Amino acid sequence: MKPRDRLRIAMQKSGRLTEPALDLLNRCGLTFRQSRDKLFCFGEGEPVDLLLVRDDDIPGLIAQGVCDLGIVGRNVLHEFQGTAGEGATALTEWRPLGFGRCRLSIAVPQERDYREPADLASQRIATSYPGLLNAWLREKQVAATVITLAGSVEIAPRLGTADAICDLVQSGGTLVANQLREADVLLQSEAVLAGPQTLPADERGDMIELLLKRLDGVIQVRE
């Protein structure tokens, strides 16, 4: 791939992380002009552009070198790392960003008892995070059946297609609306700045260091 002289950051095109991510970059002194096709936002001052994509694609785009950094939920980053396979570029969390907070949890029907992970033995658990769930079940030495669903995970127990779910929870309102209750937490998540473990050895690496310094200032002010 041709080396790029401008830094490229992948972020969510339209969703929960879009506004706060743009706001954070603005506070770091970066401003952008959106292109007509809305795939790219071009940096006006600094040599930093944005690529606007679905959040699930962000880790892969960094691993392939299409982007240098990404703003993505820790849940998506860890799921990618767990399922990317050997030989994939190792990604790391450069900074936690303090927004998009949620947790990946096990939830069970309200009337069901749950004391420990072993209570899930031989159960069917629906999730959009099979990598993270399988890793947790392995760690807890529980043999359960993982059912991978792209969305609407919370309705699976009512449909009778699963006994429990593993999904993101924020206020807990979705669980209550579906007669479920949170039983165990696998991962505390928030938006993070993700990138390869080693920085590019050119101007982009210098720009990343500058951005990290500015981020630290902005995040400190906010805390």
- SS3 labels along 91-114: EEEEEECCCCCEEEEEEEECCCCC
Cα–Cα distance, 93 to 109 (Å, whole number): 34
Cα–Cα distance, 218 to 61 (Å, whole number): 26
- Using CB under 6 A, pick the residue from 46, 56, 93, 119 that binds ligand PRT: 56
Q: Which residue has the tokens 């809305």?
A: 38
Q: How far is the CB of 104 from ligand PRT (least distance, A)?
A: 9
Which one of the spans 14-22, 26-34, 131-139, 195-203 is the region binding ligand PRT (CB under 6 A)? 14-22
Q: What is the per-residue binding string for ligand PRT in 151-170, x denoting contact by CB under 6 A?
A: ----------------xxxx
Q: Which residue has the tokens 């807890």?
A: 140
When the beta carbons of 68 and 154 are compared against ligand PRT, the nearer one is 154
Rounded-to-5 percentages of helix, strand, coil across the chain = 35, 30, 35
When the beta carbons of 72 and 180 are compared against Zn ion, the nearer one is 72
When the beta carbons of 16 and 95 are compared against ligand PRT, the nearer one is 16
When the beta carbons of 56 and 203 are compared against Zn ion, the nearer one is 56
Q: Which of residues 42-81 bind Zn ion (CB under 5 A)?
A: 55-56
- 79 part of the interface to ligand PRT, by CB under 6 A: no
Q: Which does 43 bind (CB under 5 to 8 A by kind): Zn ion, ligand PRT, none?
A: none
For residue 67, give every residue at least 6 positions away whose Cβ sits within 8 Å of its Cβ, in sequence order, or none: 8, 9, 10, 51, 58, 61
Cα–Cα distance, 65 to 47 (Å, whole number): 17
Which residues make up the interface to ligand PRT (CB under 6 A)?
Answer: 12, 15-17, 54-56, 73, 75-76, 100, 102, 167-174, 189
